[in-house]
A and B are shown apart, each in its own frame.
Chain A
Amino acid sequence: MRVHVVEDDAGVSDSLALILRNIGHDVVSHRDAESLFKGPVPEAGDTVIVDLSLPGIPGAQLVRWLLNLAAPPRVVVITGQSQGFIDHQLRGLMPDGVMRKPLDVDAIARVLPHA
Chain B
Amino acid sequence: MKDFASPPASLPTSPETAPHPPTVSEARLLSVLDTAADGIIVIDEHARILIFNKACERMFGISAAEAVGQNVKLVMPTEYARQHDAYVGSYIRTGVKKIIGIGREVQGRHADGTVFPLELSVGEAATPDGRQFIGILRDLRPRKESEQRLADLQSELVHLARVSAIDEMGAAIAHELNQPLTALMLYLQAIRRAHSRGVDIVTVVGDILDKAAGEAERAGHIIQRMRQFVEKRDPERHARALDPLIDEAIDLTLLGQRHRIRIEREAGQNLPPVSVDPVQVQQIVVNLVRNAIEAAAGAPDPAIRIRTLASDGSVRLEVQDNGPGIAPEALPKLFEAFASSKRRGMGLGLAISRTIAQNHGGDLLVDPGGNGRGACFTLVLPAAPVPDEVG
A-to-B contact residues, CB < 8 Å: 9, 11-12, 14-16, 18-19, 22-23, 53, 55-56, 79-82, 85, 101-105
Contacts and interface: CB of A to CB of B under 8 A. Distances in A.
A11 B185 contact: no
30 contacts: A9-B183, A11-B180, A11-B182, A11-B218, A12-B182, A14-B183, A15-B182, A15-B183, A16-B182, A18-B186, A18-B208, A19-B186, A19-B190, A22-B193, A53-B175, A56-B260, A79-B175, A80-B179, A81-B171, A82-B171, A82-B174, A101-B175, A101-B178, A101-B182, A103-B182, A104-B186, A104-B189, A105-B185, A105-B189, A105-B193
Contacts of A55: 260
A11 B183 contact: yes
A15 to B, nearest CB: 4
Interface of B: 171, 174-187, 189-190, 193-194, 208, 211, 214-215, 218, 258, 260
B135 to A, nearest CB: 39
Contacts of A104: 185-186, 189
Contacts of A11: 179-180, 182-183, 211, 214-215, 218
A9 B186 CA distance: 14
Nearest to B214: A11
Contacts of A53: 175, 258
A18 B190 contact: yes
A19 B204 CA distance: 13
Given A80-B176, A80-B177, 9 more contacts: A11-B211, A11-B215, A12-B179, A12-B182, A12-B186, A15-B185, A18-B187, A19-B186, A22-B193
